[in-house]
Structures are given as C-alpha cells and as structure tokens.
C-alpha cells in the first residue's frame, strides 16, 4: 500500500502542515455516473459494483483514497442505492480505524450537480475535499496536488478547484482517447497552471478553437493542449459546493461547472490543473475505457492495485509467467491453453482444448471444451458450453451460452442471458433480459434517473436469486415465444436496437478494437472533408485580408438571431407592462437586464421597444388606417417616456426611423401607407427630433431608388421641416 501517512508529511510551510493536521481530509465519491453508457448492464446493477478484473470498481477507488491519506469518504448513491449500501455494509470498508466511509442516499438526483447540492445541504464537508466518481482507478499520491492546491488557496481565495490531468494523446484517426473518451482541448497557463479553456465535447463542425482575447491580456503565453486527458479527480474547496447551490442550473461537472467558471469571469473563480507523470489515474467512462483499464491493471500500471496484491475484495491470485493470473482453485484441463495477460478467477473450471487469451474470467465459471475466448470479460458464474467462440465481448453474471454459440466483437450480454445453440450474436449487439425502454428521452441524465427509479423494484440478483428466477420463469414463457429468434433457439433475452447514435457509432465505445476497414473509412472521409474545407479556403474575401475563418459569418447570423430573440422578449415585457400597468421605471429595468444578457446596445432597445409599440397599436382592434394611427398615438403618448429613455442621441433616433422603415417593408406592412403620419406624430411628440429626420433623409438620398420609397412619401414633410428651420434662422 502506498504510504498511508503521506498526506501529513513533507509539506512545506508550517501553516500548511498545521492545516493538514487540523482538517480531516475528506472525499466525496459519487457512486453514480449519471450516464447511460453501460446499459443494459446498469439497469440491473449500479456501475460502481461492476467487476473490473474480478473486483468491483468502487473497491479500486476506495482503496486508492485510503492509501492516499483520505480519512473520511462520503459515498453518494442514487441509482440502485440500496445495492451500493448493502455492498458497502457487507464489505470491510465500514469500521476501518483511520478511514470512515459513510453513505448519502438520494432517490431524485439526476446529475452530479444535484448530488453536490444535496451534500452541501447536509453540511458534512468542512474543508478542502477530493471529488471523484466511483469508477476511478488510480494510484496517484495526493500529497503534492493537495499542497499545491492549498498554497494557491492561501494566495488567492478564488482558486477553488484543481483538476488532475495526465498525458494521453488521442488517436489521430478517431479523435478519441484510448479510454474511448472524446478528445479534449485545453488551454493552460504554462506558469501558474491555471486552466483557461476546456472543450471536451468537440464540435466537429467547428474547425477552430476560439480563445477569448481577454486571456492574453495580462500574460504573454498560453499552452494549448490536445495531448492531455482529464482524470476526473478534482481537489475542491468548499466553495465548489456552494457554487453548485448558487447556480442551480449546473448539472454536469465539466460541461456546466468548469465551463461556467471559465466563461463567466464575473465570479473570478479560478481552476487549476495538476499533471501527474508517473502515477496512474483514469476513469471508466464507457466500454472501451473498461477494456483499456482492465488491460492496464493486468499489465500492472496500477500497482499496487493489481490482481495478485490483496487490497480489498479480491481473493488470492497468483501471477504466473507471461502475465497470467490464476486463482488458487482453478480446474484447468491439461490440454487447455491459457494465453498471456489473462486472469482466471476462483472456482472456475476449463475444459480440454479450450483457448483463452487476453481475457478476464470471473469466479465459478464453467467453460466447456473446444471453446475459444479472445479479449473477453467474463464475469461470475457464467456457463459456456462446448464449441463456443467469443471475441471481444462482455459476458455478465449467470449467462449461459449453449454449445456452438458465438459472440462477434463488441457484444455485451447482460445478466442471465441465454444464447441458443449454434446462434451467433451479431457484432456490437447488447442483449438483456429486460426490454429496451421505449421512451428515448433526449436528456440522457434525466432518462437514466427515471429508469433507475423504475428499476429499483427489480430485486437485485445477488440478494434474492430465487425470487428473481421465479419472476423470470414467468416472464420467460412470454418472452420465449416472442423472442425465440432474437438470441437463437432456446435463448433468452432481447437484443437492444441501437440508440440515436446508431450502429455507426457503436464501434467507438465498444470493448472490441476498432476494425481496420473502419479506420480506413474514417481516414478517407476525413480526407474528403479536408478537401472540401480546402476548396472553401480558396474563396478569399476580395479585400485580400484573410478572414480569421469562415465561422465568422456564422457569428453574424448568431447576432441576428440574438436580436430576434431579444426583440421577442422585449415585446413580451412591454405587453406585460401594458396589461398589468407596470411603471416605466420597472420596464426600463427589465429591458436593461435583457439588454445585458443579450449583449446589445441601447439603440437595439429603442428599436425593439418601438417595434413593440407598433405591434401593440396594430393588435388593438381597428378598422381604418386612421384608427390605426390613433391607436399608435395613444400608445406613443402613454409610453413615450420609455422610448425617450433609450433615445439619448441623434444616431439612435435615426436608427429608430430606419427600423420603422424596415418594419413597413417587412413585418408590419399595414403601416407603409401611414409612414409620414407616424413620422409626423413622432416629431410632434418630441420622440424624434428634426435633426434626426433630416439626417435620415440626407443618408437616404444616396441610397438606391428602391430604397427611397418612404423618402419620397416623406418628401413634403421634410421640405416643411427644412423650411421651418430656415425660418428660424
């Protein structure tokens, strides 16, 4: 075990040392990933209890936290919380002398954000804490990272979080990391290690990363990284919890919290990174990560968390040559060939002429003869009859494969599935006894929480197998009739159809290695795309000035869209003011806050308000154009103070006239014959000054003939204005 007292020793500065001694180092372990990547398995068992090289994932995390000097762990359970709590109660984790584990149960948390808000309400966290999920495998010492975090905290109270990263270059073809996660783009200050930019859900359409110009304001260099991996191990200050409470819309740790902190610099909170070089840290996010991390454990990168070292929950296993681990009681036929990097669990028997390589076989499995298993994860009590062929598959507890059955790469067989004789399950299929939930909610977190609540009713397999069997046997008769074809003759289970991602994307997150032809395909499409973008690149603006890139045009559109939304909201605000007799001051306040949130100018407010008034007049019942003008006159008389507030200069008044013109042409054509009357009205009411009208006329003088429609209408009025001003002179 890693030096237990490491956390208390070797800390520079007496303050820090005292602080470390005073506070118990706490950790929050989220025993729910709030995701659906491990379905259908996670419908029956929580992800943290899934065996990883024959040990439940949560044991790896807890063992690491204990060895890293954490003294108090709060395990947050939501989905299948009872199973998690029961497991922990029966494990050795409760009742350790220097390591207390307590659980926090919730039935309605739908995201990490909800979980942290709940924990905040419980007031159990007193100082800096470690935030991890229950699917983390690591052997990193926390001493250095904690020391850095605390030192930064002392200097700058806003340094609330340190995230642990490690070197990992994503594959250049698929743009995903070896753990099957999306590629990550980060910008880090090379001196302070402050995180400045974080983009994990890469938007492929955008070919560029856009860094805010403000980032380079007070520093001269930034490092951009595409070769780092987020370990999802965070050292947090207590403020993190209150931040989640303050921002009740934060759900996802990275997508909302980290981005929120980076983008809104209003709060001034900072996030830092800590890079680990020699130790191991990774999180199991999907099946590919499961495969990769299992191999890492077998190859001992995670030492001391390896099969032949007893930490918790695993039984004695002996390491033999060529990286083969064998438990003490394995019934192995003489003619069976066990290849390298394979783990065979306790009480498993293997028949003659069976070949197993690069695989993990759990406890109590019965494997027949002439079976070939390559790159598979076979959990406990699985029966594989003679002549089966398995390649790169996950086979859960209690599965029965009848003789001659086969699994193609990427197959996942959930609990107790039976594969019929001679049946071959097609590649990337997921088979479960439970039917696929029909309702596909777009929000995956919501969906998961819903389902997990629904699933609570299903008895857990390990606890009451008899009852379960009864239930299934009743079900079986039904399902057998319907699904006899799905997993072969005598098989039990439903093959899930692929989700929205479709079959195309299944290979990305599967345990099976990515097939070579798929890679070639991706390279080809990537090249095609390159060529297309190349052609786009050829079209250069005639100015000769290189546009930063084509995305610029999109941002213009965004601005227009923004304005449209803004206009709608202003209109709604205004109408509410009209109907509920809100005072002008309050409307101004509301419009101002809208303006700030949409980042627009006061000119935009003026034209939006003007538009709302016109609309109001138009929507008030009227028969003749004359009445319309009258309606408008009442509206403008009542609300002119409001409009005046935003018309502080001549330019803004001109803008309103232009807006009016545009409206007459597009949205509210009813006004077009009334242009001059309305203009005159605005002049009379002192909303628009003479100077603005004359300037507008002068501006329009140079426009195209088609644009002069309203100018001609207003010709007389302008002439009159001109004469009036001359008389004054």
Partner 1 sequence: MDFQVVVLAGGFSKSLVPLVSKEVPKALLPVANRPVLSYVLDLLELKNLKDLIVVVEGETAALSVSAWISSTYIDRLHVEVAAVPEDVGTAGALRAIDHRLTAKDVLVVSGDLVCDVPPGAVAAAHRRHDAVVTALLCSAPVSGPSDSGSSGAKDKAKKPGRYNIMALDPTKQFLLHIAAGAEVEKDIRVQKSILRAVSQMEIRADLMDAHMYAFKRSVLQDVLNQKETFQSLRRDVLPYLVKSQLRSELLSSGVQSDENSNSKDAMQNSKILPSQLLANAFTPSFHELYALGPDGSASITRKTHKCCVYIANKSKYCARVNSIQAFSDINRDVVGDANHLSGYSFSAQNNVIHPSAVLGSKTTVGPQCMLGGGSQMGDKCSVKKSVIGRHCRIGSNVKVVSSVIMDHVTIGDGCSIQGSVICSNVQLQERVVLKDCQVGAGFVVTAGSEYKAESLAKKEKL
Least distance (Å) between residue 365 CB and partner 1: 37
Half-sphere exposure (Cβ direction) of 70: Cα atoms closer than 13 Å: 26
* Secondary structure (3-state) at 133: strand
Least distance (Å) between residue 278 CB and partner 1: 19
Q: In three state form, how does the secondary structure of 496-546 look?
A: ECCCCCHHHHHHHHCCCCCCHHHHHHHHHHHHHHHHHHHHHHHCCCCCCCC
Cis peptide before 40 (omega within 30 of 0): yes
Least distance (Å) between residue 535 CB and partner 1: 10
Sign of CA dihedral 373, 376, 379, 384: negative
* Secondary structure (3-state) at 682: helix
Cβ proximity to partner 1, 206 vs 586, nearer residue: 206
What six digits make up the tokens of 561?
A: 């869209």
Least distance (Å) between residue 523 CB and partner 1: 6
Least distance (Å) between residue 190 CB and partner 1: 7
Least distance (Å) between residue 172 CB and partner 1: 4
Task: Return the residue matching tokens 């040559």.
Answer: 321
Least distance (Å) between residue 181 CB and partner 1: 15
- 95, 457, 548, 621: which one contacts partner 1 (CB under 8 A)? 548
Cβ proximity to partner 1, 277 vs 439, nearer residue: 277
Q: How far is CA 635 from CA 308, 401, 614, in A?
A: 83, 78, 8
Inter-axis angle of helices 650-665 and 675-684, nearest 10: 160
Least distance (Å) between residue 540 CB and partner 1: 6
Cβ proximity to partner 1, 226 vs 620, nearer residue: 226
For the window 194-233, what string marks contact with partner 1 as x by the rule CB under 8 A?
Answer: --------x---xxxxxxxx-xx--xxxxxxxxx------
Strands 317-320 and 324-327: antiparallel
Q: Is 559 a residue that touches partner 1 (CB under 8 A)?
A: no
Would you say 33 and 109 are in contact if contact means Cβ atoms under 8 Å apart?
no
CA dihedral 664, 667, 671, 673 (to 10 degrees): 50
Task: Give the total residue count for the chain.
Answer: 729
For the window 577-596, what string marks contact with partner 1 as x by the rule CB under 8 A?
Answer: --------------------
Task: Return the residue matching tokens 């088979």.
Answer: 431
Least distance (Å) between residue 78 CB and partner 1: 36
User: Of 278, 283, 193, whose CA–CA distance to 233 is shortest?
Assistant: 283
d(CA 416, CA 432): 8
Number of amino acids touching partner 1 (CB under 8 A): 50
Would you say 29 and 65 are in contact if contact means Cβ atoms under 8 Å apart?
yes
Cβ proximity to partner 1, 185 vs 301, nearer residue: 185
Cβ proximity to partner 1, 321 vs 535, nearer residue: 535
Hey, which residues does 136 pair with through a beta bridge?
A: 283
Least distance (Å) between residue 273 CB and partner 1: 13
- 21, 169, 503, 568: which one contacts partner 1 (CB under 8 A)? 169
Q: What backbone phi and psi angles, to 5 degrees, belong to 150?
A: -70, -35
What six digits make up the tokens of 569?
A: 């909201």
- 263, 316, 551, 559: which one contacts partner 1 (CB under 8 A)? 551
Task: Return the residue matching tokens 């359409």.
Answer: 205
Least distance (Å) between residue 213 CB and partner 1: 5
d(CA 276, CA 271): 16
Cβ proximity to partner 1, 208 vs 706, nearer residue: 208
Least distance (Å) between residue 522 CB and partner 1: 9
Cβ proximity to partner 1, 212 vs 715, nearer residue: 212
Least distance (Å) between residue 218 CB and partner 1: 9
Give the range of 105-113, 170-178, 407-415, 581-589 binding partner 1 by CB under 8 A: 170-178
Would you say 487 and 425 are in contact if contact means Cβ atoms under 8 Å apart?
yes
Q: Which helix (H) or strand (E) holds 163?
A: strand 159-167
Least distance (Å) between residue 529 CB and partner 1: 10
Residues 490-519 that bind partner 1 (CB under 8 A): 519
Residues 386-415 that bind partner 1 (CB under 8 A): none
d(CA 414, CA 499): 17
| End-to-end Cα spacing for the chain | 96
Least distance (Å) between residue 165 CB and partner 1: 12
For the window 514-543, what string marks contact with partner 1 as x by the rule CB under 8 A?
Answer: -----xx--xx--x--x--xx--xx-xxxx
Q: Which residues contact 278 (CB under 8 A, 6 or more apart)?
A: none
Give the range of 180-188, 346-354, 607-615, 694-702 binding partner 1 by CB under 8 A: 180-188
Cβ proximity to partner 1, 206 vs 568, nearer residue: 206
How many CB atoms within 10 Å of residue 598?
18
Surface-to-core class of residue 622, CB atoms within 10 Å of its CB (0-12 exposed, 13-18 middle, 19+ buried): middle
Strands 383-384 and 55-56: unpaired
Q: What is the DSSP string of 378-399?
A: E-TT-EE-TT-EEES-EE-TT-
Cβ proximity to partner 1, 537 vs 625, nearer residue: 537
What six digits make up the tokens of 547?
A: 């546009």
d(CA 582, CA 481): 67
- 546, 581, 706, 729: which one contacts partner 1 (CB under 8 A)? 546
Question: Which residues lie near partner 1 (CB under 8 A)?
Answer: 169-173, 175, 183, 185, 187, 190, 202, 206-213, 215-216, 219-227, 519-520, 523-524, 527, 530, 533-534, 537-538, 540-546, 548-549, 551
């Amino acid at each position: 075990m890693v030096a237990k007292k490491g956390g208390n020793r070797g800390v520079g500065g007496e303050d820090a040392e005292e602080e470390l001694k005073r506070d118990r180092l706490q950790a929050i372990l989220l025993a729910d990933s709030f995701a659906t990547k491990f379905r259908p398995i996670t419908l029956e068992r929580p992800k943290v209890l899934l065996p990883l090289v024959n040990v439940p994932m949560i044991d790896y995390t807890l063992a690491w936290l204990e060895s890293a000097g954490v003294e108090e762990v709060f395990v947050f359970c939501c989905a299948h919380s009872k199973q998690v709590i029961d497991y922990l109660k029966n494990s050795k984790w409760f009742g350790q002398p220097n390591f207390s584990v307590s659980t926090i149960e919730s039935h309605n948390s739908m995201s990490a954000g909800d979980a942290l808000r709940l924990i905040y309400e419980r007031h159990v966290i007193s100082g800096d804490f470690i935030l991890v999920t229950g699917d983390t495998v690591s052997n990193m010492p926390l001493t250095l990272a904690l020391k850095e975090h605390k030192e930064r905290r002392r200097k700058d109270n806003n340094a609330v979080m340190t995230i642990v990263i490690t070197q990992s270059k994503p594959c250049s073809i698929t743009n995903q990391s070896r753990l099957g996660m999306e590629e990550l783009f980060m910008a880090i200050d090379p001196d302070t290690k402050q995180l400045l930019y974080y983009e994990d859900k890469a938007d492929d359409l955008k070919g560029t990363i856009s860094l805010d110009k403000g980032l380079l304001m007070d520093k001269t260099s930034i490092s951009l990284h595409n070769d780092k991996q987020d370990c999802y191990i965070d050292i947090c200050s207590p403020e993190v919890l209150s931040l989640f409470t303050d921002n009740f819309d934060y759900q996802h740790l990275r997508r909302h919290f980290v981005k929120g902190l980076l983008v809104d610099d209003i709060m001034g909170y900072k996030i830092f990174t800590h890079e680990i070089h020699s130790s191991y840290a990774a999180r199991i996010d999907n099946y590919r990560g499961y495969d990769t991390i299992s191999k890492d454990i077998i190859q001992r990168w995670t030492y001391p968390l390896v099969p032949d070292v007893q930490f918790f929950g695993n039984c004695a296993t002996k390491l033999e040559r060529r990286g083969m681990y064998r438990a003490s009681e394995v019934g192995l036929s003489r003619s069976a060939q066990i290849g390298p990097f394979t783990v065979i669990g306790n009480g498993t028997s293997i028949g003659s002429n069976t070949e197993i390589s690069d695989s993990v076989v759990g406890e109590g499995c019965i494997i027949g003869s002439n079976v070939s298993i390559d790159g598979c994860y076979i959990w406990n009590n699985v029966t594989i009859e003679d002549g089966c062929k398995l390649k790169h598959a996950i086979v859960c507890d209690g599965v029965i494969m009848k003789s001659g059955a086969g699994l193609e790469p990427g197959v996942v067989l959930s609990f107790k599935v039976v594969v019929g004789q001679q049946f071959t399950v097609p590649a990337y299929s997921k088979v479960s006894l439970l039917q696929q939930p029909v309702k596909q909610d777009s929000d995956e977190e919501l969906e998961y929480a819903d389902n997990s609540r629904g699933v609570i009713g299903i008895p857990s397999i390990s606890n009451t197998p008899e009852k379960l069997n009864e239930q299934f046997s009743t079900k079986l008769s039904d399902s057998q009739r319907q699904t006899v074809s799905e997993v072969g003759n005598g098989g039990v289970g439903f093959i899930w159809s692929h989700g929205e991602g479709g079959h195309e994307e299944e290979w990305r997150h599967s345990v099976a290695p990515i097939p070579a032809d798929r890679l070639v395909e991706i390279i080809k499409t990537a090249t095609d795309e390159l060529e297309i973008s190349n052609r786009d690149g050829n079209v250069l603006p005639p100015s000769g000035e290189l546009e930063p890139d084509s995305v610029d045009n999109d941002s213009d559109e965004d601005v227009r869209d923004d304005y449209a939304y803004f206009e709608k909201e202003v209109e709604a605000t205004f109408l509410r003011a009209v109907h509920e007799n809100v005072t002008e001051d309050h409307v101004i306040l509301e419009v101002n806050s809208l303006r700030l949130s949409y980042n627009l100018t006061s000119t935009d407010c003026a034209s939006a308000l003007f538009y709302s008034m016109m609309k109001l007049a138009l929507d008030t019942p009227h028969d003749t154009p004359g009445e319309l003008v009258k309606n408008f006159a009442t509206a403008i008389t009542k609300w002119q103070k409001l409009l005046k507030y935003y018309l502080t200069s001549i330019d803004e008044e001109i803008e309103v006239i232009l807006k009016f013109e545009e409206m007459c042409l597009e949205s509210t054509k009813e006004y077009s014959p009334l242009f001059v009357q309305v203009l005159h009205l605005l002049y009379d009411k002192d909303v628009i000054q003479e100077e603005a009208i004359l300037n507008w006329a002068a501006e329009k003088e140079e426009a195209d003939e088609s644009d002069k429609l309203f100018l001609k209408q207003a010709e007389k009025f302008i002439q009159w204005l001109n004469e009036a001003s001359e008389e004054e002179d």
